[in-house]
Amino acid sequence: MRAVRYHEYGGAETLVVEQAPDPHPGPGEIRVRVAAAGVNPIDWKARSGALRELLPVELPAIPGRDAVGVVDEIGAGVQGVDIGDRVFGLGGLTGATAELAVLSAWAHAPATWTDEEAAGAGLASVTAMGGLKALGPLRGRTLLIEGAAGGVGSAAIEIAAAQGATVIGTAGERNHAFLTALGALPTTYGPGLAERLAALAPNGVDIVLDTAASGSLADLIEIAGDPARVATVADHANAQRLGAHLANAENDSTLLAAAGELGRQGRYTPRIERTYPLAQTAQAHAHAERGHTRGKIVVRI
């Protein structure tokens, strides 16, 4: 199969398109003929070698954790999915940016989503749901999302709004109209946030989801009034130090099915900032690495 790979840790220039062995699903897994793969920060962080102690990859490695495609091989013990079904989902830390990919968690992709949208749904939705779950019931509560314009943040806006939360999101000015379109009240992150929120939410912010890891966690806890009302998916070190909830993405097909159902209802649609062809995966990584993705970046296979 044709795949993007890197043979050593390094910058985006290490990515090459080449032939690689076809993968096969193990028990409980499926293989898809990939239509599109999502790009996530973990892809370039793993490729750079920065996580090699914590999350080493086997080289050469195919980047990508998120894919949508048509099922073409089914592992032992798998039920509820057939050859030819269009599914989106998650594999391991690597493997998605290729013609064929193995998934260990998946759900049927809603017909309302394009392939690009479905490719951007997996990791962002399960991460957003994990962070939101740690915060308890959402109905009637005012939720602040720090880093609301990114992949996880933009998914969290729609998922939380669908559960009845009033959502305030932080982003740079250029993304404020984007946040409004998703259903959040926009404001700017950084100094003076507490004062801006006092005007936007006179009754206070009940709960906070941090997806930015910008060093603001202590300020966010002060805004919520209690570390138990704050969850982060990105700031591992400070979460432990300050006592906030830490949520990590889980390869959970139930969560993916819930995200797909919201898609069918028209309440959650991943927003795609840009789609790159497979041959330009290095540019896609460089784009993601700049840290200002609006919604998702996707690679079309």
* CA separation for the pair 205, 201 (Å, rounded): 7
Which residues are bridge partners to 68 per DSSP? 36, 88
**59 burial class (0-12, 13-18, 19+ CB within 10 angstroms)?**
exposed
Interacting span for ligand NAP (CB under 6 A) from 29-37, 96-104, 144-152, 198-206 = 144-152
Residue 140 Cβ vs ligand NAP, minimum distance, rounded to whole Å: 26
Among residues 81, 153, 110, the alpha carbon closest in space to that of 258 is found at 110
Q: Which amino acid is at 74?
A: I
Q: Does position 166 bind ligand NAP by CB under 6 A?
A: no
Q: Does position 170 bind ligand NAP by CB under 6 A?
A: yes
Which residues are bridge partners to 272 per DSSP? 296
Q: Of 153 and 263, which CB lies nearer to ligand NAP in the complex structure?
A: 153
Answer left, alpha or beta for residue 278, where phi above 0 means left and psi between -120 and 50 means alpha: alpha
Q: Does position 122 bind ligand NAP by CB under 6 A?
A: no
Q: Does position 149 bind ligand NAP by CB under 6 A?
A: yes
Question: CA geometry: angle at 291 spanning 286 and 294, to 5°?
Answer: 100
**Contact pattern from residue 43 through residue 72 relative to ligand NAP, giving x for each residue in contact according to CB under 6 A and a dash for the rest:** ------------------------------
Q: Does position 40 bind ligand NAP by CB under 6 A?
A: yes
Q: Which of residues 175-214 bind ligand NAP (CB under 6 A)?
A: 175, 189, 211-214
Q: Of 55 and 83, which CB lies nearer to ligand NAP in the complex structure?
A: 55
Among residues 276, 285, 274, the alpha carbon closest in space to that of 15 is found at 285
What CA dihedral angle connects 121, 123, 128 and 129, to 10 degrees?
90
Q: Does position 159 bind ligand NAP by CB under 6 A?
A: no
Q: Does position 133 bind ligand NAP by CB under 6 A?
A: no
* CA separation for the pair 228, 243 (Å, rounded): 7
Q: Of 227 and 270, which CB lies nearer to ligand NAP in the complex structure?
A: 270
Q: Which of residues 90-109 bind ligand NAP (CB under 6 A)?
A: none
Residues in contact with ligand NAP, total (CB under 6 A)?
30
Interacting span for ligand NAP (CB under 6 A) from 67-75, 84-92, 108-116, 291-299 = 291-299
Residue 244 Cβ vs ligand NAP, minimum distance, rounded to whole Å: 13
Residue 176 Cβ vs ligand NAP, minimum distance, rounded to whole Å: 9
**266 burial class (0-12, 13-18, 19+ CB within 10 angstroms)?**
exposed
Answer left, alpha or beta for residue 208, where phi above 0 means left and psi between -120 and 50 means alpha: beta
Residue 198 Cβ vs ligand NAP, minimum distance, rounded to whole Å: 19
Say if residue 60 is preceded by a cis peptide, omega within 30 of 0: yes
Query: Can you give the binding site for ligand NAP, defined by CB under 6 A?
Result: 40-42, 123, 127, 146-147, 149-153, 170-172, 175, 189, 211-214, 233-234, 248-249, 288, 291-294
